[in-house]
Each structure stands twice: as C-alpha cells, then as structure tokens.
Amino acid sequence: MSETPTAETPLWLQGRDAVVAATPAESWRKHVPDYHLSATVMPEQRISRHEAGSLEDIVEQLVQVFEMEVSHNKDPKTWVSMVTEKFRTNFNGNPWSDAQDLVEKGSYNVLIGDSIFYPAGDESFDSSHGVFLGALSQGFFWEVLEVLSPPPTIAFKWRHWGTFDGEYKGFKPTGELVEMYGMSVATVTEDLKLLQVEHYYDPNEFLGKLTGGCPVRHQKSDA
C-alpha cells in the first residue's frame, strides 16, 4: 500500500497529482495532464514493484514529475523537479541540452536525436508528441527497475514501454508490446532536485520495432 506523503515531503517527491494541484493553470501547454492510464494500465504491465518510500520509489516519482513538467508545462520557471537554471541533460554522450532546449524542442527530439528511424530535425515539439502519442495511444509508460547508487549521484536502470496500436510514420500498428531498456545517471541536490541527467540506451532498438526494422520499407511498397 502506498504511503501518504507528509507535509515534510518535498512537492517534487509527492507525485504528479500533487504537482498538478500546485501548478498555475496558465502554465500548462494545452490542458491539465491526465494520467488515468498510468493508474489503470501501467500497474498490470510493469515488471517491478517498489516499497513506498524506497529509493527506487523516490527516483521513479521524481522522474515521472520531471517528464510531466517538460512535456506539459511550458513555463520552466515553475518546474519543481529540477534546478532549472543549472539543469542539463544528454544521451549516449551527445552534446548537452538545457531546460530551454526541452521547452523549445521537446524531450523526444532532445533525447532521441536524428535517426534513420526518427528524423528529429524534421519534428517540432508538438509534432514529436503527436508521433508517439499516436503510435502508443494506450500510454508510453516508464518505470525504475533498479537503483545502483544513492544520492547525490544516482545511477538507475529503467524500462520504457507501450502497445503499438496506432500508425507510426506510415507504418501500420501491430498491436504488440514494444519496450526499451536503459540506464541513467542523475546528479541531484541535497533535497533531491535534478541538476544533471545522463541517459544511456539504444533508441534505434525501440524505433526499429515500430518500422519492422526498415524505415523505408513502406515507401518502397507504396512506389
């Protein structure tokens, strides 16, 4: 059973609902984010279970709030999951991106980059979200599998998954569960706000499952 956060628990560790309630309505890009699928679908599909208050649970809550803020909150001054003016992130040793990059480009474009399976340079913030929300309409879920080191440098393994039930860039859905695994290293403050996050994973392993391993196959068949 999940424990109820106390008054001493920092807002960014109280979960997405608490952060939504504390965020000014005008900060949201289009509407208040809705995570009912995380409450109804995710519990049956996740492969890890964490005791409330454990380090794994805390890290998962923090990253979920971070993902919500960068995806839905257009005003980084109101983000609570990070020290916005100092924050930076990258993947696989690529150049660093800051909070403003996430606001302007979107996390998909920043953390996937240009690929034969996904040309990030051709996508805007809105179009990138449309691509993946359309392909994985039942939700694109994320969970912590294992935490390898404690703060202030938290290394953790994770899983990201969804059901391929919508079209992806001309490729028809298969209805299969598609997933990817990776590792991240987060540097945090004493009160567990994010300062820096490095991600390590192979985006093409996941994206290839949405294209049958061939990003131009549908173009050839349509010719």
pLDDT at 215: 67
pLDDT at 217: 54
pLDDT at 141: 97
pLDDT at 187: 98
Long-range contacts, stretch 157-162, CB < 8 angstroms, 24+ apart:
157/181, 157/182, 157/183, 158/63, 158/182, 158/183, 158/184, 159/46, 159/47, 159/48, 160/206, 161/45, 162/135, 162/136, 162/138
Question: pLDDT tens per residue, the chain (223 residues)?
Answer: 344 555 589 999 999 999 999 999 999 998 999 999 999 999 999 999 999 999 999 999 999 999 999 999 999 999 999 999 999 999 999 999 999 999 999 999 999 999 899 999 999 999 999 999 999 999 999 999 999 999 999 999 999 999 999 999 999 999 999 999 999 999 999 999 999 999 999 999 999 999 987 766 544 444 3
pLDDT at 3: 46
pLDDT at 210: 96
pLDDT at 160: 97
pLDDT at 6: 55
pLDDT at 23: 95
- Residues with Cβ within 8 Å of residue 17, at least 6 apart in sequence: 35
pLDDT at 140: 95
Half-sphere exposure of residue 23, counting CA atoms within 13 Å on the CB side?
28
Name the pairing type of β-strands 153-163 and 97-98.
unpaired
pLDDT at 8: 86
pLDDT at 72: 97
Question: For 148, which DSSP code?
Answer: -
pLDDT at 91: 97
Question: For 114, which DSSP code?
Answer: S
pLDDT at 163: 97
